Amino acid sequence: MSSFPAQLSFQRRLFQSSLGLWLALATLTSIVNGSGFCSTELTDEDQSGAIRIFERMVERFHKIVFDDCHGFSVQEATGTGTVTMFFHPEENAISLAHILLDNSLRNRRILHKLLGVAVHSASFWMNIDLLKTMATHFQDGSLPPLPYYVAKLGFSIEHFADLEKFGLEANQTGADTLHSWLKSEFFVRKGPKFTKDESELMQRYRKGFYNIKTAEDEQTKQTLSKECNWPAIHLILPVAKHSIDEAKHINPKWLRDELDYLVDCPVEEFLRSIAQENQENELS
C-alpha cells in the first residue's frame, strides 16, 4: 500500500474569554517552537510539533506506531494504514480527509481510536462541535464506507445536494430515507427492492455492496468496486468536549467510551515531555 502522508493543519485563534484555553494555547506554542510566545499564525515547525503531539498520544494509549511519513502500524498486528486529518477552529470542527487500512487492520476499531484522540487533544486548545468527513469509496476492493460511518459511527448527511447521487430528492425526507436505508439490517441483501422508498440507484449500490462483500478473492473485489463505485458523500457528526454536561447526550456511545478511556490523559503531560525532549536535543 502506498504511503499517504498525514497532515494535521491547525489554524488557531485565541479565545481570551477562557483563561484556561488561552494558557493551553500558549503552552502548545511554547512547546512547538520553543519561543514561549503564543501566535495565531502557525509555521511549518508549529504544524510538525502539533502532529507529533497527536501521534505521541495515539502511540501511548493505543500502541499504534507512526512512521516518519505519518503512516502507521499496530503493535501485535500485521499491516499498515494512513490517515489525514485537518483541524478547523474557525468552524469548531475536525475533518477526516483520508483513512486507508490494510485488510488485516480492519475490525480493530482503529478509526474510533484515532478520532477519540483527535477530539480529546483538540478540546484543550479549540472549541469542538463537529466531526466531518467525505465518505469516499476507494476502488481497491474495499467496501463503500458510507454504511459504516452512518450505522456504526452515527454520522449523518451534511448536504441535501448529495442525495441526488442516490436518486433521492434533495430535502429532509430524502435524507431520512437514505439514513434509514444505510442503517437497515437488510442492507447487505442482494435481492430485489426491499423498501418502497429505495430508488434504482440505491438498489444498484446495495447489490454492488453485497457482491463486493461476498466475493472470494481480492481481484474480483477490485473489479466489482470499480464497476459499482459509490458516490462520495459529505457527512457530519455533532460532538462535544468530554468535560461538559451535554457531552453524554451529544456524543455517540463509541466516542464516550473512547473519551472515558482518555480522560486521565492530560495533554499537558505530552507537552511537557516534548518540551523536555526539545531541550535535551538543543543541549546535545
Residue 44's pLDDT is what?
A: 56
Task: Say what the pTM is.
Answer: 0.77
Specify the residue for cell string 485537518: 86
Q: Average model confidence (pLDDT) for the chain?
A: 76
Residue 5's pLDDT is what?
A: 32
* Cα(258)–Cα(243) distance, integer angstroms: 13
Q: Is the pLDDT of residue 27 over 60?
A: no
Torsion sign across C-alpha atoms 116, 119, 123, 128: negative
User: Grid coordinates representing 237?
Assistant: 457528526
Which of the pair, 46 or 87, is modelled with greater confidence? 87
Angle among Cα 272, 258, 131 to the nearest 5 degrees reads 90
Render the burial of 132-145: b for 16+ CB within 10 Å, e for the rest: bbebbbeeebbbbb
Q: Is the pLDDT of residue 69 over 70?
A: yes
Q: Specify which of 32-36, 98-102, 133-137 reaches the highest per-range mean pLDDT.
A: 133-137
189-194 mean pLDDT:
63
* Cα(32)–Cα(92) distance, integer angstroms: 22
Which of the pair, 5 or 283, is modelled with greater confidence? 283
Q: Which of 18-22, 64-68, 205-209, 244-248 has the lowest mean pLDDT?
A: 18-22
Residue 36's pLDDT band (cuts 50, 70, 90): very low
Residue 282's pLDDT band (cuts 50, 70, 90): low
User: What single DSSP character describes residue 91?
Assistant: T
Residue 220's pLDDT is what?
A: 93
Q: Is the pLDDT of residue 204 over 60?
A: yes
Q: Is the pLDDT of residue 82 over 60?
A: yes
User: Could you tell me if 234 and 136 are in contact, meaning their C-beta atoms sit under 8 angstroms apart?
Assistant: no
Q: Is the pLDDT of residue 172 over 80?
A: yes
